[in-house]
Structure 1
Amino acid sequence: MFSNGLACNLPFSCMSINRDSGSDELLPSKMSREPVLLNVYDMYKINEFTTNIGLGVFHSGVEIYGTEYAYGGHQYPFTGIFEINPRDETDLGEQFKFRQTVQIGYTDFTEDDVKRIIYELGKEFRGDRYHLMNNNCNHFSGAFTKILCGQDIPAWVNRLAYFSSWVPFLERCLPKEWLMPMALQHSLSCHRDSTCSEASTPPPPPPPY
């Protein structure tokens, strides 16, 4: 099982492997040891509401194999996960400002494995289940990195969620567009528009094993 309860139907990468000194030669050559990076952005318009209580609000995405995956909200009952070029704040919108990259760890999942994981996570991180405090982009990033390399994201990135009881009014008073990155809006329009390129549409279900 994945750490968030999703069943693992992937190959050997799901298994625990002892990497003590001298064991690297036992790793199959297929294993990639790909870096897992967390890209963090300031949501500075929202921060205008929260700085007086000492909280910063951050958006995050997970970068792997040259693609950054992130999560946002919309009104439809399908995935809210979308892709951007790594650290490209212009893909997100004017309210997002790149802050820093944090290396979380390394993974042995292949690029194809990652696409299957994203497909499965999309069933949980649906657009209509987004919530600024309880199920936001940082919750997705943490779930994703725990699957990829067994490590959560730094606590400070999602500190607002831990103090949600202090600011129950915040999500209700924020403009909806502040919570929907431009890249996600484009992904939604492509989902509704059959003229979009195949690469822009949500991925098909993974093949059966």
Structure 2
Amino acid sequence: MDHSGAHPVKLYVYDMSRGMARQMSLLMLGKQLDGIWHTAVVVHGKEFYFVGEGINHCSPGGSSLGEPDFVVDLGSTEVPEEIFMVYLTSLGESTYRGDKYNLFEHNCNAFSNEVAQFLTGKKIPSYITDLPSEVLSTPFGQALRPLLDSIVINPGGSNITGQR
């Protein structure tokens, strides 16, 4: 196990609308959205993400979402895998338990943003974290909110705290 040096950190970005947001958002929301983003942090050879059952991981690109739409290079981290897993486990038992998931306020992108800052000191791109407020600022977004709040994204993978 490598205890030294820098480990690359990537943000995998998936468009949950599979291109529909780009085509329909202006018509439906009155503003252009390029995608409905789900993100995951890839470090130490695994992809980590927060979903309705907590913090999960899989091999990079190995969830039911397949390959990401694009990848953002977040730089590198000196944090070794053992320390990172202890950090993730504590998040998984507190702030990022499955029952804390909320599509708008506390979702995969909030998790990716927090983890990215822990690892690299850098945030993920604001066009990803600002998306919920962009949608909710529209009348259509407000009308859809009760429905959207009930959505839980679950692309599978293994739960880091072993909860199912």
So what's the TM-score if we normalise by structure 2? 0.78
Structure that is richer in strand per residue: 2
Q: Does 1:153 align with 2:124?
A: yes
User: Quick one: percent identity of the two aligned structures?
Assistant: 28
The amino acid of 1:149's aligned partner reads: T
Q: Give me the CA root mean square deviation.
A: 2.8
Q: Does 1:41 align with 2:20?
A: no
Q: Does 1:51 align with 2:55?
A: no
Cα 1:171–1:83 change in 2 (3 A) is farther
How is 1:37-186 mapped onto 2 (pairs within 5 angstroms)?
Answer: 37-44=10-17, 47=21, 51-52=25-26, 53=29, 54-55=32-33, 56-74=35-53, 80-88=54-62, 91-93=63-65, 98-122=68-92, 123-163=94-134, 164-166=136-138, 167-174=141-148, 179-183=152-156
Instruction: Please list every run of 5 or more consecutive structure 2 residues that lacks an aligned counterpart in the other structure.
Output: none
Bigger CA radius of gyration: 1
**What is the distance in 2 between the residues matched to 1:201 and 1:127?**
11
The amino acid of 2:49's aligned partner reads: A
**What is the distance in 1 between the residues matched to 2:89 and 2:160?**
12
The amino acid of 2:43's aligned partner reads: I
Q: Give the secondary-structure state (helix, strand or coil) at the position aligned to 1:60.
A: strand
Q: Report how many aligned residue pairs link the two structures.
A: 152
Tell me the alpha carbon deviations over residues 142-182 of structure 1, each in whole angstroms, 9 at most, x when there is no partner: 00010011000011122312323432343422495x63223
Instruction: Please list every run of 5 or more consecutive structure 1 residues that lacks an aligned counterpart in the other structure.
Output: 1-28, 75-79, 188-199, 205-209
Contact 1:34 1:106 in 2 (8 A): yes
The amino acid of 1:31's aligned partner reads: S
Q: Highest relative contact order (Cα 8 Å, sep 6+), 1 or 2?
A: 2
So what's the TM-score if we normalise by structure 1? 0.63
User: What is the match of residue 192 of structure 1?
Assistant: none
Tell me the alpha carbon deviations over residues 23-68 of structure 1, each in whole angstroms, 9 at most, x when there is no partner: xxxxxx9432101110000101673896133222100000001100
